[in-house]
Amino acid sequence: MATSKNQKIQALMDEGATLDMNDDSLEAKLQLIAQKVAEEQQKIKAAVTGVSHDDLVDPADAFTCEGCQ
pLDDT of residue 44: 85
How much is the pTM? 0.65
CA separation for the pair 69, 67 (Å, rounded): 6
Q: Are 13 and 3 in contact (CB under 8 A)?
A: yes
pLDDT of residue 1: 60
Q: Which pLDDT score is estimated for 4? A: 80
* pLDDT for residue 14: 92
Number of residues that make up the chain: 69
Low-confidence ranges of the chain (pLDDT < 50): 69
